[in-house]
Amino acid sequence: RAAVAQADAGADVTAPSGMMDGQVAAIRSALDDAGHDQVAILAYAAKYAS
């Protein structure tokens, strides 16, 4: 829901944190269903300590 809200507000890219299995597919599906097929999803990871 957050990604769709961001797209509704005019975001061109959404970048979710805490990636879980299937999360990108679920976000893509929600964005597409809401008519935001041009909004990109930026996957990223950060490692703060070893």
The domains of the chain are located at 2-41
Closest Cα partner for 42 from 8, 16, 4, 19? 16
What is the tens place of the pLDDT at every residue in 24-43? 999 999 999 999 999 999 98
Residue 21's pLDDT is what?
Answer: 82
pTM of the model: 0.81
Alpha helices in 1-50 (DSSP H): 2-8, 23-33
Instruction: Give CA–CA dist 45/43, Å, rounded.
Output: 7
Q: Is there a contact between 17 and 42 (Cβ–Cβ < 8 Å)? A: no
Q: Which two tokens stand for residue 29?
A: 């599906």
